[in-house]
């Protein structure tokens, strides 16, 4: 059975934490281990990386540098993982691609449970310390506020798993339901779960809307993603203006939200060009102490026919991150007063 992975491997990291948490930062390795890791990495890239031609180019580079003895002097696991990541990045230029080392044994892929789909499943998988930390957190909903005059403000630092954050999102949207316009602050948002992105976008449309498609390399299957018809909170609707704040630390799933809202012409984006990572990833075991996070799914907008990989989301209104909120407030106030320029996105 195929496993469903998140847009960014945040939840995967939590799942793997039970096996590798607390590991020392380094570990000695020998030549046999180096060869094993490189061979496994090449095989996993060729079988799973979202662009097969790029995987072949990465293989050619790794084999060339292996023949040249570039890796022979590396005896530290962390250092090897870092060097392999840098070498691959020089070819594929993919934000989600990463090789890493763990001094504790990395579990086999077969023994790794699929990402949980319910809170109960999740609580069984994560370590107790992580569970307590998440329970005590705000789940990425940093601030829900009202700005004068009657402008809503929603600050989100991450898109947690939908089964954890749906209630938080509903209560936030209920609190903002009667505002005249809304500013969503995604500066310094590191990403998270694509299902939570789809849920939040659902609050800003009036009818069922196709959001993004994803193409899976291993199955050659394209899946469509749509908004949700039934919401636990009050629907904001598709008419009132929405402005989104971004910076270079707006990443992955957060970029999916920004890109989709912009493509739908449902929001005006203000701030800085975003990070530029669009490919969904999952971890693959390379050996007893190594694993690679390899992008295996490509997001495709039905509106633009592409995504934000490598380019980031380009704001409609450029602004320094520290100035973005003030710029957004001024623009939204003028728009609500009817003095904003006609044809601006998000009307």
Q: How large is the average pLDDT for residues 1-8? A: 37
Residue ranges covered by each domain of the chain: 1-136+282-293, 138-277+312-336
| Planar angle of CA 254, 256, 258, nearest 5 degrees | 75
DSSP string, 268-317: EEEES-------EEEEEE-SSSEEEEEEEEEEE-TTTSS--TTT-PPPSE
**Nearest of 221, 233, 225 to residue 209 by alpha carbon:** 225
CA 332, 338, 341, 346 dihedral sign is: positive
Token pair 């691959």: residue: 88
Quote the CA–CA distance of 304 and 293 in Å, as a whole number.
27
Model confidence over 176-205: pLDDT tens digits?
999 999 999 999 999 998 899 999 999 999
pTM (2 decimals)? 0.86
**Nearest of 154, 152, 201 to residue 177 by alpha carbon:** 152
Query: Which tokens hold the place of 93?
Result: 């230029």
Q: Which listed CATH number (3.30.450.90, 3.30.750.44, 3.30.465.10, 3.90.650.10) goes with 1-136+282-293?
A: 3.30.750.44
Model confidence over 284-293: pLDDT tens digits?
999 999 999 9
- Quote the mean pLDDT of the chain: 89
Fold match flag (1-136+282-293 vs 138-277+312-336) = no
Query: Which tokens hold the place of 242?
Result: 């929405």
Quote the CA–CA distance of 72 and 35 in Å, as a whole number.
10
Q: Which residue has the higher pLDDT, 175 or 342?
A: 175
CATH number of 138-277+312-336: 3.90.226.10
Q: How large is the average pLDDT for residues 144-153? A: 95
Quote the CA–CA distance of 163 and 248 in Å, as a whole number.
28
Query: Which tokens hold the place of 337?
Result: 């007063």
Is the pLDDT at 25 greater than 80? The verdict is no
Q: What share of the chain is helix, strand, coil (3-state, %, to 5)?
A: 35, 20, 45
Give start and end residues of each alpha helix (H) in 154-229.
162-176, 194-202
Is the pLDDT at 26 greater than 60? The verdict is no
CB 297 within 8 A of CB 5: yes
Model confidence over 205-242: pLDDT tens digits?
999 999 999 999 988 999 999 999 999 999 999 999 99
Q: For 43-57, 102-116, 145-159, which range has the lowest pLDDT when averaged over its residues?
A: 102-116
Please give the torsion angle defined by the CA atoms of residues 11, 258, 172 and 206, in that order, rounded to the nearest 10 degrees: -120
Q: Which residue has the higher pLDDT, 124 or 95?
A: 95
Is the pLDDT at 347 greater than 60? The verdict is no
CA 187 to chain centre: 14
Peptide bond preceding 149 in cis form (omega within 30 of 0): yes
Q: Residue 111: what pLDDT? A: 78
């Amino acid at each position: 059975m195929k496993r469903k992975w998140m847009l960014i491997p945040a939840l995967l990291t939590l799942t793997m934490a039970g096996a590798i948490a607390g590991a020392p930062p380094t570990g000695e390795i020998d030549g046999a281990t180096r060869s094993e890791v490189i061979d496994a990495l090449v095989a996993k890239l060729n079988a799973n990386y979202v662009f097969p031609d790029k995987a072949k180019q990465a293989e050619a580079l790794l084999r060339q540098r292996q023949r040249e003895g570039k890796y022979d002097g590396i005896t530290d696991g962390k250092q090897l993982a870092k060097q392999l990541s840098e070498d691959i990045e020089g070819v594929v230029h993919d934000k989600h691609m990463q090789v890493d080392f763990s001094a504790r044994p990395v579990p086999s892929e077969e023994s790794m449970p699929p990402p949980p789909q319910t809170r109960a499943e999740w609580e069984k998988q994560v370590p107790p310390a992580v569970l307590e930390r998440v329970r005590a957190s705000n789940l990425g909903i940093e601030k829900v506020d009202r700005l004068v005059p009657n402008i809503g403000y929603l600050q989100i630092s991450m898109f947690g798993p939908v089964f954890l954050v749906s209630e938080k999102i509903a209560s936030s949207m209920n609190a903002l339901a009667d505002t005249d316009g809304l500013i969503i602050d995604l500066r310094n948002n590191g990403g998270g779960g694509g299902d939570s992105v789809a849920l939040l976008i659902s609050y800003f449309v009036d009818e069922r809307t196709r959001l993004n498609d994803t193409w899976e390399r291993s199955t050659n299957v394209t899946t469509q993603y749509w908004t949700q018809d039934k919401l636990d909170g009050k629907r904001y609707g598709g008419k009132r203006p929405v402005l989104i704040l971004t910076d270079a630390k707006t990443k992955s799933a957060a970029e999916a939200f920004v890109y989709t809202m912009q493509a739908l012409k449902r929001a005006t984006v203000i701030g800085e060009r975003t990070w530029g990572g669009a490919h969904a990833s999952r971890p693959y075991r390379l050996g007893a102490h190594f694993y690679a996070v390899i992008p295996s799914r490509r997001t495709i907008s039905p509106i633009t026919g592409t995504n934000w990989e490598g380019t980031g989301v380009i704001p409609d209104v450029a602004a320094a991150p520290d100035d973005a909120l003030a710029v957004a407030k001024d623009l939204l106030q003028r728009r609500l007063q009817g003095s904003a320029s006609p044809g601006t996105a998000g009307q």
